[in-house]
């Protein structure tokens, strides 16, 4: 996997840990289901903690826990609507999340500019995607019609 963070291709230190797998990294991303079941244990672990949210998750459900996460991954299994845009905007502007907001899964190059405007700071790409092309696409538009949270 490739990672674009702050408009640069970079090494990804974060690892998504399946619900039934042991934590084994300094930068662990867990599912919301695992977080609910193992919250106390996860908080006591060394290392940085990230949370993967599916696009059908209400951000309001995790607001009280945001202080425990350095990264929120908005996972889009299949793009059908703009819920990830709303999730990112709420995390940044309404709930004041200052960590990394990452998008992974099924998003398109022409959405990257808009995702960055609503607060997404990193993009997980598959190995076939053109990382430089996606970085370039962040500059596709010179006029903004809406306010940015970034």
Angstrom distance (rounded) from CA 139 to CA 115: 12
CA–CA dist 123, 144 (Å, integer): 21
CB 122 within 8 A of CB 6: yes
64, part of any domain:
yes
The pLDDT, as a whole number, for residue 104 is 96
Which tokens in the block code for residue 99? Answer: 């960590």
pLDDT of residue 3: 95
148 in a structural domain: no
Has residue 25 been placed in a domain?
yes
Q: Residue 148 has what pLDDT?
A: 62
Local confidence pLDDT in tens for the 150 residues of the chain: 799 998 899 999 999 999 999 998 799 999 999 999 999 999 999 899 999 999 899 999 999 999 999 999 999 988 888 899 999 999 999 999 999 999 999 998 888 988 999 999 999 998 778 888 888 887 777 666 566 665
Query: Do the domain assignments include residue 144?
Result: no
The helix or strand, by DSSP H or E, that contains position 5, with its residue range, turns out to be: strand 2-5
71-76/48-54 β-pairing: parallel
Residue 147 located in a structural domain: no
Strands 27-31 and 15-16: parallel
Run of H or E residues at 42: helix 32-44
Domain total of the chain: 1
> Please, which residues have CB within 8 angstroms of residue 31's CB and are 6 or more apart in sequence?
19, 51, 52
Domain-located, residue 20: yes
Q: What is the CATH number of the domain that holds 102?
A: 3.20.20.70
| Inside any domain, residue 113 | yes
Task: Look up the domain containing 79 and give its range.
Answer: 2-137
Query: ∠ CA(105), CA(83), CA(88), 5° rounding?
Result: 80
> CA-to-CA distance for 43 and 144, rounded, in angstroms?
40
55 within domain boundaries: yes
């Amino acid at each position: 996997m490739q990672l674009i963070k702050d408009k640069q291709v970079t090494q990804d230190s974060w690892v998504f840990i399946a619900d039934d797998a042991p934590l084994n990294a300094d930068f662990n991303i867990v599912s919301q289901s695992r977080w609910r079941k193992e919250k106390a244990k996860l908080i006591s672990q060394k290392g940085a903690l990230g949370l993967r949210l599916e696009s059908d998750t209400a951000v309001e459900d995790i607001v009280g826990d945001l202080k425990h996460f350095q990264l929120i991954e908005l996972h889009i299994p299949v793009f059908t609507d703009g819920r990830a845009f709303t999730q990112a905007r709420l995390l940044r502007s309404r709930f004041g999340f200052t960590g990394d907001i990452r998008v992974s899964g099924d998003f398109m190059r022409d959405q990257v500019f808009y995702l960055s405007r609503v607060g997404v700071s990193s993009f997980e790409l598959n190995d076939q995607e053109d990382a430089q092309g996606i970085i370039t696409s962040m500059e596709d538009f010179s006029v903004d019609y809406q306010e940015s949270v970034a």
